Amino acid sequence: MFPKDQKTAYIRIAEGCSLHCTYCIIPKLRGPYQSVPIEYILNDFNHCLNADIKEIILVAQDTASYGKDLQHSNMTLSRLLIQLAEKIESLNCKTRIRILYMNPQHINDALIQTIKRYPSICPYVDMPIQHACDDVLKKMNRPYTKTDLYRLIEKMRSNIPNIALRTSLLVGFPGEKENQFQELIDFVQDIQFDHLGVFDYSDSDDLASHHIKDHVDDMEKEARHHELMTCQADISYQRQQRYVGQVLDVLTEELSDDDPPLREGRTVFQAPEIDGLTLIAGHKVEQGKIYPVRITQAMHYDLLGEIM
Ligand code: SF4
């Protein structure tokens, strides 16, 4: 059972992780990647639809790896999404599907085409790249290069022009030199992600990365973190301006702390908890509904709008 006002729900489609990023303890703690059998996912999905959930968010350590561990099965994230999106189409309902945490090396053409094809799948890709310098990526054991990232992002944007891209980055990885950090800044400025989170490297002696030379001190990590976030704040502000004047579907949530309060909500381009909000004036706007909203102003992270 979901509380009456809950209109967003998460479905975990896999447990564990079989990748071996050198800075991460999760595979040791949670074991290898194990896809949840599709029958369970469909069951949870139908349960959400019956409860009138308006946004269903698929999560895993790497959602794009879904199905790779299932022997004698051709199941993939793309095929799973097709089943879910067609279920929504058959019911003619407005529920939307969002996918979080897709590692870039597993985002393939079929997945891009599926996101493009179904209106119920948010045109939103959350792709943790961690870094953009090839040497750092190699030491992190992330199996792609900066060139691969450029190609992938170009492909996603040319296929889905309105796509919102989110990434997360790790700063202060052992051995990260100033020029390598600047390479990351240049990449971020070049790509112009819509949303970006930054994490500072956190050391532990049971991590493979612990044994890499030249650890970055905490003050330097903090300075790099701050520099990246300052850079992203300007990018985010510029990216958000394209929504001004557009009419976007907004799923309404709680009231804000403003006086008078505004109704908070999210477009398909805003994930809960991690991205900005769309704020709507007017006390008659109800919670848990999808309204067409004209965006009137874009701030660094939030949008302001009015109901049409
Ligand atoms: S960072 Fe993510 S993909 Fe890498 S090992 Fe950890 S959980 Fe797996």
Distance between Cα 23 and ligand 1 center (Å): 8
Q: What pLDDT score does 73 carry?
A: 87
Query: Quick check: 133 pLDDT over 90?
Result: yes
- Residue from 12, 18, 20, 21 to probe ligand 1 pocket by mutation (most atoms less than 8 Å from CB): 21
User: Would the CB of 63 count as within 6 Å of ligand 1?
Assistant: no
For residue 122, the one-letter residue type is C
Nearest alpha carbon, ligand 1 atom 6:
24
Of 1-5, 74-78, 255-259, give the lowest mean pLDDT range. 1-5
The number of the ligand 1 atom at minimal distance from the alpha carbon of 27 is 5
Q: What CATH number labels 244-307?
A: 2.40.50.140
Rounded to an integer, the average pLDDT of 94-108 is 98
Rounded to an integer, the average pLDDT of 229-246 is 98
Supply 49's token pair.
Answer: 């639809």
Query: Quick check: 215 pLDDT over 80?
Result: yes
The number of the ligand 1 atom at minimal distance from the alpha carbon of 61 is 7
Averaged pLDDT score across all residues of the chain: 96
Distance between Cα 228 and ligand 1 center (Å): 22
Rounded to an integer, the average pLDDT of 206-227 is 97
In which band, very low, low, confident or very high, does the pLDDT at 234 lie, cut at 50, 70 and 90? very high
Q: What is the pLDDT of residues 255-304, one digit of tens each?
A: 999 888 999 999 999 999 999 999 998 768 999 999 999 999 999 999 99
Residue closest to 41 by CA, chosen among 12, 15, 64, 16: 12
Question: What is the signed CA dihedral for 13, 19, 24, 30, rounded to 10 degrees?
Answer: 50
User: Would the CB of 76 count as within 6 Å of ligand 1?
Assistant: no
Q: What pLDDT score does 4 carry?
A: 80
- DSSP letter for each residue of 37-74: PHHHHHHHHHHHHHTT-SEEEEE-S-GGGTTTT-TT--
Rounded-to-integer distance, Cα 275 and Cα 273, Å: 6
**112 phi and psi angles, rounded to 5 deg:** -60, -45
Distance between Cα 252 and ligand 1 center (Å): 32
In which band, very low, low, confident or very high, does the pLDDT at 210 lie, cut at 50, 70 and 90? very high
User: Would the CB of 19 count as within 6 Å of ligand 1?
Assistant: yes
Query: Quick check: 227 pLDDT over 80?
Result: yes
Query: Quick check: 1 pLDDT over 80?
Result: no
Distance between Cα 21 and ligand 1 center (Å): 6
Q: What pLDDT score does 196 carry?
A: 98
User: Would the CB of 274 count as within 6 Å of ligand 1?
Assistant: no
Rounded-to-integer distance, Cα 229 and Cα 223, Å: 10
Q: What is the pLDDT of residues 138-154, one digit of tens each?
A: 999 999 999 999 999 99
- Residue from 12, 15, 19 to probe ligand 1 pocket by mutation (most atoms less than 8 Å from CB): 19
Residue closest to 187 by CA, chosen among 243, 130, 143, 237: 130
The domain spans of the chain are 8-242, 244-307
Q: What pLDDT score does 2 carry?
A: 82
Supply 304's token pair.
Answer: 């302001």
Distance between Cα 62 and ligand 1 center (Å): 7
User: Would the CB of 16 count as within 6 Å of ligand 1?
Assistant: no
ipTM: 0.99
Q: Domain 8-242 has what CATH class?
A: alpha beta
- Percentage of the chain modeled with pLDDT above 90: 95
Q: What pLDDT score does 301 carry?
A: 96
